[in-house]
Amino acid sequence: MRVFLLMLLGVVLWAAPVFTPVHTLEVNGTAKDMVFDGKTLTIATDAGHIEAYDVETYQKIKEISIPDVKDFMGDIMPARVMSTDHLGNRYLLLSDSGIGGYSNLYVYDGTLKQIYSHKDKKAIIKARFIDAHHILLGYLSDEAALLDTETKKERYRVQLSESKFSDFALNEDKTQAVFSCESGVLSIVDVQTGKIRKTLEGLNVDNVYKVDYKNGMVAAAGQDRRGALYDAATGKGSYIQGHFLIYATALSPSARKVAFAMDENNDIFIFNTMTKSKLAVLKGQKSTLNVIIFKDETHLFSASDDNTIMVWDLTK
C-alpha cells in the first residue's frame, strides 16, 4: 500500500496543472478563423461578417459584414467567412461564394472593396496580408500565390504539390510561409518569389490540418495524431504523440512553448518544445478547435467550431 501511495504521489507531483478560461467572448456566428496583431483580435464567422476586439478591454471595436450569397439550391444565406486578417486600417475577408466552390475576396479600408468574385473562379482557402497592397493566397489545389490588390494580378502562382491544401502560416517578418497539405509534407516558401526554400517531411504521414511558424520553428498538427516540431533551417525535428486527431496548434513568440489540441475532449496541451515535457492542460473548449494563438508566453486565445472565443492565462 505504501509503495502504491508513493507512486500516486509521484504522479500528482508530476501532473501538469489544469487551467480554465479567464475570459470568454461571444461572437455572432461560428468562428472559422482568427488573427491577432498585437492589439486587436479579429474573428471571422460563418454568419457573413468579422468582429474585431480590443484585447485589453475585450470590447468590440469593429464589425464588417459582406453581402449574402446564394447556395446551390438558390436560397439566400450568409457568406461563410473562412479567412481574415488585419493590417493597419485594412481588414481582409475571404468567403465562400456559394457557387461552384469558388471564393469571394474583399478588402475593407473604410469601404468594402471586392477583389475577386465567383466569376473569377478562384478556389482560395486562406489569405493573409503581406503588406498594404499584397496578399498571400493558399489555393485548394495546394498552390501559393502573391496577389497585388491594386492591379488584381498575381505576381506568381506556384504549385507546391499534387495534394490538397490544408493551411499556411507566415513567419514574423512575413518573408517566408510554411504550407501544409493532406500528404503530411510541408513546404517553406519565399513569399516574394514563390520559390520553395525547404521541404519538411518524415514526421507527419497524413493530412496536416494546421501549422505555425515562429522563431525558426515550425509546428504541425496532424491527422495522424502527431504534433510535429521542425527546425526550419535544418529540416530536422521530432513529434509528440497525441490521443486523437490534432486539429490545431500554435507556438509562443519565443517558440519555447507549443500548444496542440490532442484529445477527443478538445483540451489544449502546452508543451516545452525542447524537452517535450507537458507544461499545462487547458480545459473548457466545447467544440473542435479551429485556431489557437499565443498572445505572449503566458496568455492564449482559442476559437472552436462554435461562437465562444476563450482567453487563457497560464499564470492563474
Check residues 70 and 283 and name the one with the higher pLDDT: 283
pLDDT for 98 equals 82
Contacts of residue 155, Cβ cutoff 8 Å, sequence gap at least 6:
134, 145, 146, 147, 148, 194
pLDDT for 74 equals 76
pLDDT for 15 equals 81
pLDDT in tens, 47-56: 999 999 999 9
pLDDT for 6 equals 34
Distances (CA, A) of 216 to 120, 175, 191, 256: 36, 12, 15, 11
Cell, residue 142: 495546394
Can you tell me whether residue 201 is helix, strand or coil? coil
pLDDT for 8 equals 35
User: What structural domains does the chain harbor?
Assistant: 17-313 (2.130.10.10)
In the predicted structure, residue 71 carries a pLDDT above the cut 90? no
pLDDT for 254 equals 98
Q: Are 25 and 301 in contact (CB under 8 A)?
A: no
What is the phi/psi pair of residue 3, to 5°? -60, -40
How far apart are alpha carbons 230 and 233 in whole angstroms?
9
What is the phi/psi pair of residue 203, to 5°? -95, -40
pLDDT in tens, 274-284: 999 999 999 99
Q: Give residue for cell 470590447.
A: 59
Instruction: For residues 166-186, give the mean pLDDT.
Output: 98
pLDDT for 148 equals 98
How far apart are alpha carbons 244 and 76 in whole angstroms?
37
Of the ranges 8-12, 42-46, 80-84, 205-209, which one carries the lowest mean pLDDT score? 8-12
Confidence of residue 9 (pLDDT cuts 50, 70, 90): very low
Cell, residue 109: 479600408
Contacts of residue 8, Cβ cutoff 8 Å, sequence gap at least 6:
none
In the predicted structure, residue 5 carries a pLDDT above the cut 60? no
What is the phi/psi pair of residue 120, to 5°? -80, -10
Q: Report angle CA 182, 188, 191 to the nearest 5 degrees.
A: 115
What's the mean per-residue pLDDT of the chain? 94
How far apart are alpha carbons 203 and 216 in whole angstroms?
17
Confidence of residue 182 (pLDDT cuts 50, 70, 90): very high
Residue type, 82: M
pLDDT for 14 equals 47
pLDDT in tens, 118-161: 999 999 999 999 999 999 999 999 999 999 999 999 999 999 99
Q: Which residues of 150-185 are buried (b: 16+ CB within 10 A; e: fewer)?
A: eeeebebebebbeeebbbbbbbeeeebbbbbbbbbb
202: left (phi over 0), alpha (psi -120 to 50) or beta: left
Check residues 140 and 15 and name the one with the higher pLDDT: 140
Cell, residue 140: 485548394
